Amino acid sequence: MDNTRKITVIQATAVLISTIIGVGILALPRFAVQTAETGAPLVTLLGILVASAGLWLITVLGVRFPSKTIVQYSEEIIGKWLARFGSLLIIGFFAILTSLAAREFGEVVVTTVLRNTPLEVTVIVMLLLAAVSSRHGLETFVYIHYFYLPLILAPALMIVVLSLKNAELLNLLPVMGNEHKELLGGVLTIAALFQGSFIISIVIPHMRRPGQAYKASFMGMSVAGVLYFLIVVATVAVFGPEEIKRLLWPTLELAKTTSLPANILERLDAAFLAVWVTAVFTTLYSSYFLTIHCMSKLFRLRDHKLFSFFVMPFVFFYCDGAAKHSGTLPNHSDCRTDRSDCDHWLSVSAVGGFHHTKKKGYT
């Protein structure tokens, strides 16, 4: 049996889910509400569809080149130098994504739990954790995602279930929302929360049967999508759109309103946040891993361990700089612009890929 092909469909699905679900979930309802008010669940659904299209593209490409990562096959598709430039973009993008996620979570922690701790400390702890863990191989990477999956899904679902007590159906109506001024922007922002799904491109070459990547992508996207959708529905149902607009992290507020039966714990937000560290970690870990994995592939290295600490200062200083630049409020629109660059490049390579494969008569 080929030793490097060990990842099963379920494991690939787990990687997708735990990568997608990250710190974005805390602010998600606000993004959705800002553009469409009570239409938030609808916007979320549309966002999921857009993200699915992106994921589908990556999966198709991955399955076409079952033994290569995106860095490698893009060279075949659009030519060596253009592809290397594109790969550099991907690497830069995910490095920035790592730092943004680390910073946003750092903000959450500093604002809600550790009020006297400097932001840099919480961020660097998170980044160190990702860097240390990224020294392991891809196999361990997958195990880690697989192992944490229940820890990521269970608390979110629990919050949704427990918050039903305070839900008000009226808050969700009208389903279509009242005004649609920035609908497209909102859809793209929410789609951008799913950008971690890009991780599938480095997982496919190690899958036992790469052809089943479609299944993994579909399942991963559905589970993560349903969870995001439920969170948005629950938050909007509890708070109503106007209230959510004024909340920085509505999902966290949702956790505050819930309590366990029998008064085991008086409040749940800190506990929820603590468990949520896992979700943030897996997301960070994925984007960090993706960055250094792509780097090692770009420089034709067999092992990526070399970069695991090398990249960290850059990510940290970007994150620190960004924090000073844009004030304390984390802003996801940075990501969005980057995302559109990346998407653009991706679609070029994808179209090229179809063209190329057709020419050569592949199926």
Applying CB under 8 A, the residues found at the interface with another protein are: 6, 8, 10-11, 109, 113-114, 117, 122, 125-126, 129, 132-133, 136, 139-140, 142-144, 146-148, 263-268, 270-271, 273-275, 277-278, 281
Report, in Å, the least distance between residue 233 CB and another protein: 27
Report, in Å, the least distance between residue 106 CB and another protein: 10
Q: How far apart are alpha carbons 294 and 202 in whole angstroms?
A: 8
Q: Which of 146, 173, 166, 319 is nearest to 253 (CA)?
A: 166
Dihedral of CA atoms 220, 225, 228, 229 in degrees, nearest 10, equals -150
Report, in Å, the least distance between residue 14 CB and another protein: 9
Which residue in this structure is represented by tokens 């990250």? Answer: 22
Nearer CB in complex with another protein: 36/102: 102
Pair 24, 158: CB distance under 8 Å: no
Which helix or strand (DSSP H or E) is residue 90 part of?
helix 80-112
Question: Does residue 296 sit in helix, strand or coil?
Answer: helix
Report, in Å, the least distance between residue 336 CB and another protein: 28
C-alpha R_g of the chain: 20
Question: Does residue 97 sit in helix, strand or coil?
Answer: helix
Report, in Å, the least distance between residue 16 CB and another protein: 16
Backbone angles phi, psi at 7, to 5 degrees: -80, 130
Report, in Å, the least distance between residue 84 CB and another protein: 31
Strand partners, 207: 7
Report, in Å, the least distance between residue 312 CB and another protein: 16
Pair 255, 269: CB distance under 8 Å: yes
Nearer CB in complex with another protein: 278/349: 278
Q: How far apart are alpha carbons 280 and 126 in whole angstroms?
A: 9
Q: Which of 276, 222, 280, 289 is nearest to 16 (CA)?
A: 222
Report, in Å, the least distance between residue 129 CB and another protein: 6
Q: Which of 155, 194, 134, 191 is nearest to 277 (CA)?
A: 155
Nearer CB in complex with another protein: 106/225: 106
Nearer CB in complex with another protein: 79/118: 118
Nearer CB in complex with another protein: 133/235: 133
Report, in Å, the least distance between residue 267 CB and another protein: 5
Question: According to the 3-state scheme, what is the secondary structure of 113-132?
Answer: CCCCCCHHHHHHHHHHHHHH
Q: How far apart are alpha carbons 325 and 339 in whole angstroms?
A: 20
Question: Does residue 45 sit in helix, strand or coil?
Answer: helix
Nearer CB in complex with another protein: 155/352: 155
Nearer CB in complex with another protein: 135/356: 135
Nearer CB in complex with another protein: 128/164: 128
Nearer CB in complex with another protein: 109/232: 109
